[in-house]
Structure 1
């Protein structure tokens, strides 16, 4: 009688790869990728920036070329898609070239103010004591004035021009950014992982770079992005008042000032620079709101 020995087959191995864990910024990118509203307005904002960068290539006319016989012509007149202004210059070309100056005056002051104000805020929040009191009391002096009034006062004292306008806007945005950075740093400074890093003998620069800056970067960036639209409006307002860009440079605020006399003759042409400012500001605000939602760790 023969017996058969059953050989047990080896257990099947499960070759399942665990899902890749996304980091903080990976989660931010993932949320932004599935946010249709932010993607829509981000695309609009990107198109505006690209049109401003490549304005010399896509502008149909010379933005400085004047013609008395083409004054205040309606949109579509002889190839002028958005019409002509009070001096016969093509409005579309001037809006494209004006976007370069307006966007620069809107973005650059916020970037510089973020570096200066954020650095002072981190120093004040981490050092505390007398240094905190000294820095924040100086910031409170500037913070006490409305941003519009302060920008007009500083720009008026220094004189007109795009450079002086950007300096004025930078000084306006430093105090609020410093306060946001100081508040966030003060909260992070008292957390346990910062005390643990100090107890292990970690250098101060590493504690600041890895533990402090890494945790306050989100709130500071969100607040800074929300200031870009404010900066664009303030820059256009300075140019409108004659304290920013000087003629004949194309600028949206300067174009509004020049075309305000033609509001009853050609209202559509006169409204074009204002529409450009409105679309850019709304797009920047919506992108800032989407970024804030994506960077919220509680969501």
Structure 2
């Protein structure tokens, strides 16, 4: 599949540049300043979490009663201190590692499992489709937030159980998107032609179906990442995710909420981190959706 980019000729009289589908997606993203800005912001957040041990100015676990709830700038504490006198900036940097891990890994695993199930259900049809999709409908009967809380609570909380709960929540919608896209593709002419030539089923799925299903699934998965970060923070806020004294944005919000009238700016820092991460992921998802829309 190739796309002609208007105005891409390099010399007078030469033919316009021919780009493949993914080359066109990259070309559109490169000239989308809003998407690039939020992609850079998200990359900065991820890198700051990865290199938190090198960037954190203080030990995120070090407590000091005499430095409780100090404002930003107090004795080198750029974002102030929390209810136990710990440096907020250091805890935000370290907390981003767990929050982003709990937010991204479940979506990745759910994309592999849900996308695979949707691909099989959509291509096979019949009884296979009915069985898989009815099982997915059972999960659809519950709101995602309540389902995540119920599964995590039943499993006892913790980072691992929270990630399992979020994965189970995201599998059904990703499966539905993959199944819908596969159903639309499986009866197209090029798929029928591949079958008529006697191509093995795995090759038909890999070369002809998956490439057309991958785009919608990736776009939807990218939009779920921001939801996953918020849900992961929510589980920690409710005590079903990260356990104290480990730093986590949701856990920090829960611990600081009682001091909101004493030091509101310090209490808002974890929420601001969650907000910036969620907005960056949403804007990146919107930019990716526009770039992958072949009709535009």
Q: Could you state the TM-score of these two structures normalised by the residue count of structure 2?
A: 0.95
CA apart distance, 1:55: 0.4
1:230-277 deviations in whole A, cap 9, x for unaligned? 000000000000000111110000000000000000000000000000
| Residues 1-299 of structure 1 mapped to structure 2, 5 A cutoff | 18-299=15-296
SS at match of 1:22: strand
- Whole-angstrom distance in 1 between the partners of 2:12 and 2:83: 73
- Whole-angstrom distance in 2 between the partners of 1:286 and 1:81: 28
- Whole-angstrom distance in 1 between the partners of 2:14 and 2:286: 36
Which segments of 5 or more consecutive residues in structure 2 lack a partner in the other structure?
Answer: 1-10
User: Structure 2 vs 1, CA of residues 87 and 199 (structure 1 numbering), >3 Å: closer, same or farther?
Assistant: same
CA apart distance, 1:144: 1.4
- How many residues in Structure 1 have an aligned counterpart in Structure 2? 286
CA apart distance, 1:18: 4.0
SS at match of 2:136: helix
Residue 3 of structure 1 corresponds to none
Residue 4 of structure 2 corresponds to none
- Whole-angstrom distance in 2 between the partners of 1:197 and 1:20: 29
1:134-162 deviations in whole A, cap 9, x for unaligned? 00000000011100000000000001110
CA apart distance, 1:112: 0.1
- Whole-angstrom distance in 2 between the partners of 1:89 and 1:203: 61
- Whole-angstrom distance in 2 between the partners of 1:135 and 1:256: 39
CA apart distance, 1:49: 0.5
CA apart distance, 1:16: 6.8
CA apart distance, 1:20: 3.7
SS at match of 2:202: helix
- Whole-angstrom distance in 2 between the partners of 1:143 and 1:90: 42
- Whole-angstrom distance in 2 between the partners of 1:16 and 1:159: 68
SS at match of 2:61: coil
- Whole-angstrom distance in 1 between the partners of 2:46 and 2:21: 28
- Whole-angstrom distance in 1 between the partners of 2:43 and 2:18: 30
- Whole-angstrom distance in 1 between the partners of 2:157 and 2:252: 16
Over the aligned positions, Cα root-mean-square deviation in angstroms equals 1.2
- Whole-angstrom distance in 2 between the partners of 1:111 and 1:31: 24
